[in-house]
Amino acid sequence: MTQLQFAFPSTPVASSPITPEVVAEHGLTQDEFQRIVQILGREPNLTELGIFSVMWSEHCSYKNSRLELRKFPTTGPSVLVKAGEENAGVIDIGDGWGVAFKMESHNHPSAVEPFQGAATGVGGIIRDIFTMGARPVFLLNSLRFGPITEPVPSAWGTSTPSAAEIATNRRLFAGVVSGIAHYGNCIGLPTIGGEIYFDPSYSGNPLVNVFCAGVLRHEQIARGAATGIGNPVFYVGAETGRDGLAGAAFASRELTEESKEDRPAVQVGDPFKEKLLLEACLELLAIDGAVAGIQDMGAAGLTCSTCETASRGGTGVEIDLALVPQRERGMNAYEILLSESQERMLIIANKGREADVRRVFEKWELPYAEIGRVTDDGMMRVRHGTLGVVAEIPARQLAEEAPLYKPAAKEPAPAPRLKLADLPVLDCHESLLRLLAHPNLASRRWVYRQYDHMVRGGCVVAPGSDAAVFYVREADKFLAATSDCNATFCALQPRQGAMMAVAEAARNLVCSGAQPIAVTDNLNFGNPNKPENFWQLRECVEGLAEACRAFNTPVTGGNVSLYNESPQAAIDPTPTVGMVGIIQEEKHITRAHFRDAGDAILLIGSISGGLGGSQYLLQLHGRKEGPLPRFDLKSEIALQECVLALIRMGLVKSAHDCSEGGLAAALAECCFVGPALIGASVALGTRNLDRREDDLLFGEAPSRIIVTTTGANAAAVLALAQARELQARSLGTVGGDELVIHTDTTRHAWSVAELHAAWSGALPALMD
């Protein structure tokens, strides 16, 4: 008899014996297996082994990172739901409203199948938000790919990426962007911001981190707990198929050449179905007393949602797989339990309210089924029709007692240090044009034009400014959000790099007029069993934790993605920081671009730079070298407090932080990111400082903000900044159609139109 080919090739059958090989194939160690035997008091059957393997994968259990994550500050007066407590954290934004937000990665699936990988990443994070009872309101994303242009020859030693590699990276980039657009646009959530960088360390292992925020009334917070003994358990949403089988386990391995064969581990998304599911769940949750608990089926699907809800509720859950709506015939228990089919939820209704569930899901024409009930014995008990009980595991131990590891950490050889004297000064005029046209700095319009950023009628500051600003009509609140991480900095000095990522996110929010309130993070690292990788992870976590504490922005949740390695090496450590802020009054909303001729341009913060880790060094000289520019949290916080105070006093007409490309790129951006091009003339006098021109123009020292003010207010602003013991100086004035930068020795001038053309034309020229 011929086998039907669409069956998952390696799906084990229930009767397979549990040999050490089978245990190893499930990614479990012999010690972990012994622990399972101890918990069960017997050997697991194959289905149970599969359940443990996904629940104890890094993706679900954080077994290698959990001890580190405990270092994050997670509490604060505004924290309504803490990190790790539920599917997403919730922060108070006043007047009885809260914001739920979280970031999650879909790196491995996107490497194998960029369109569906990215699309289902978006779907997953949206479910995490509406599971909390929140109405999702906007999305961000943070993306990393290998180079899509030929780097300068010396950059990567002898291993310059091949034409084929560049073509692959472009295909991944285009595929991920259309996948995000496909899902977000269809479900009707605006994608309003994010970041994209290209670096050889991501060749073959792109990063796709997606962020979703939602709003809710405090009393609407839904819990993912199976409470109320005897309550019915409903399965709602899409039918279960064989897609995405054991995706969590797939995400917890390194990518190899053979990973392409894991394509069945990538799920297929249906944003239309998720839109129906979203509306139906919110409609049901709005009915007082109908729902006791709700949980999405994401990683590890039905398995994870049943044991986690039982564990949180301090109860047990018993389900019958024969009752689960299925897309294919002949699925066995192993497949149904481990499937990661998308757009599914588990709902624990209150007894007697079953009719409410039925009515709502019938209205939205979605499959639903009552598949079990809450029990009092603490067991996750799975029946499969006439086959009887196929798995029986103590829910709490399964969900909460995965082994925790403290992998060995070893500091790698220090990053090479730049000897400035050996570095030729490149032509500054041409360098700025080249930097602005580099994919890391160039306009992202090619990308965000494909995202519906206007649906839900709240996008006040569109993508392309320092932070996106969104008006939440329901709550009458203005939220600002950003995601940031300079992974080059993190590669060179992980601890400081991570602190700078938090600082930059906060600075971007402040530049838009917002007070930062909380953080979600996405920790993307290599294989933690390599001591150098784990050292980077630990350093970055400690850096993030210290900075979040200093900014008073608790971490409300996030995601860990390890094993990000291509055949060459691990990715640069990339602890992406997603930060949300709140803008007190509409008139405080501030944008990056220069506004009126005659306005005074001021620099608050130090003028001194440092080329270590800069894009100038990286992209034009081909050197990834430190040391990083000096950074300390105290002066950063003083700077941000000062600028926010100035904005609230109504003295600031524009504000823009200095990051990639340094002061010169920041000034150029101020000239052309607004509705009309406008020039500026500035003088960067550095007498006594002995600074090189390239360092002055392109050095990437943090803690600096370019603000403009009316000529009349300039002196007052400088005095206010200096009163806070900040360096502040007048740089020049807005006007004309050229950007003119005077240094002590030279007058540099660019036509703004030329700068704009270089910046705006780069991505379309590469991608269209």
The Cα 640–Cα 716 span in angstroms is 17
Given 43, 150, 376, 586, the residue binding other proteins (CB under 8 A): 586
Pick the closer one to other proteins by CB: 275 or 353: 275
Sheet-wide strand order for 574-583: 459-461, 468-472, 477-484, 574-583, 515-524, 555-561
Q: What does the CA dihedral 546, 549, 550, 553 come to, rounded to 10 degrees?
A: 130
- What residue type is assigned to position 50 of the chain? G
> CB under 8 A: which stretch of 185-193, 332-340, 380-388, 516-524 binds other proteins?
185-193
The token duo for 465 is 């400014």
Q: Are 748 and 663 in contact (CB under 8 A)?
A: no
- Residue from 367, 248, 342, 264 nearest 304 by CA: 248
DSSP letter, residue 675: S
Residue 237's Cα: distance from chain center in Å? 26
The Cα 49–Cα 662 span in angstroms is 53
Beta-bridge partners for 738: 751
- Of residues 361 through 390, those in contact with other proteins by CB under 8 A are 363-365
* 591 lies in the binding site for other proteins (CB under 8 A): no
Q: Are 742 and 683 in contact (CB under 8 A)?
A: yes
To which residue do tokens 């279960």 refer?
A: 240
Residues in contact with other proteins, shown as a per-residue x/- string from 345 to 364 under the rule CB under 8 A: ------------------xx
Measured from the CB of residue 644, what is the shortest distance to other proteins in angstroms? 21
- Residue from 109, 128, 112, 131 nearest 120 by CA: 109
**What is the DSSP pairing of strand 515-524 with strand 555-561?**
parallel
- Residue from 293, 320, 370, 627 nearest 491 by CA: 627
Pick the closer one to other proteins by CB: 450 or 751: 450
Pick the closer one to other proteins by CB: 178 or 584: 178
Given 70, 359, 449, 747, the residue binding other proteins (CB under 8 A): 449
Pick the closer one to other proteins by CB: 584 or 686: 584
Say whether 748 is catalytic. no
Measured from the CB of residue 499, what is the shortest distance to other proteins in angstroms? 35
The token duo for 664 is 């010169």
From the candidates 26, 59, 182, 656, give the one annotated as an active-site residue. 59
* 185 lies in the binding site for other proteins (CB under 8 A): yes
Measured from the CB of residue 362, what is the shortest distance to other proteins in angstroms? 11
Pick the closer one to other proteins by CB: 275 or 383: 275
DSSP string, 341-374: -SSEEEEEEPTT-HHHHHHHHHHTT--EEEEEEE
Residues in contact with other proteins, shown as a per-residue x/- string from 681 to 720 under the rule CB under 8 A: ----------------------------------------
Pick the closer one to other proteins by CB: 33 or 448: 448
Say whether 59 is catalytic. yes
Given 76, 84, 188, 674, the residue binding other proteins (CB under 8 A): 188
Q: How many CB atoms lie within 10 A of CB 71?
A: 16
* 455 lies in the binding site for other proteins (CB under 8 A): yes
* 88 lies in the binding site for other proteins (CB under 8 A): no
The H or E element containing residue 478 is strand 477-484
To which residue do tokens 């916080």 refer?
A: 637
Max Cα distance, the chain (Å): 88
* 590 lies in the binding site for other proteins (CB under 8 A): no
Given 134, 216, 238, 459, the residue binding other proteins (CB under 8 A): 459
Residues in contact with other proteins, shown as a per-residue x/- string from 144 to 183 under the rule CB under 8 A: ----------------------------------x--x--
> CB under 8 A: which stretch of 422-430, 453-461, 608-616, 690-698 binds other proteins?
453-461
Residues in contact with other proteins, shown as a per-residue x/- string from 460 to 499 under the rule CB under 8 A: x----------x-x--------------------------
* 584 lies in the binding site for other proteins (CB under 8 A): no
Pick the closer one to other proteins by CB: 64 or 512: 512
φ, ψ of residue 163 in degrees (nearest 5): -60, -35
Measured from the CB of residue 134, what is the shortest distance to other proteins in angstroms? 15
* 343 lies in the binding site for other proteins (CB under 8 A): no
From the candidates 106, 621, 748, 756, give the one annotated as an active-site residue. 106
> CB under 8 A: which stretch of 226-234, 303-311, 457-465, 567-575 binds other proteins?
457-465
The token duo for 745 is 């020795």
The token duo for 692 is 């090189």
Q: Are 445 and 477 in contact (CB under 8 A)?
A: no
Pick the closer one to other proteins by CB: 257 or 365: 365
- Of residues 598 through 617, those in contact with other proteins by CB under 8 A are none
* 27 lies in the binding site for other proteins (CB under 8 A): no
DSSP string, 288-309: TTSEEEEEE--TTHHHHHHHHH
- Of residues 269 through 298, those in contact with other proteins by CB under 8 A are 270-273, 275-276
Taken as a whole, the chain contains a residue count of 768
Q: Would you tell me which residues interact with other proteins (CB under 8 A)? A: 178, 181, 185-188, 270-273, 275-276, 363-365, 448-457, 459-460, 471, 473, 586, 768
User: So which residues are the catalytic ones?
Assistant: 59, 106
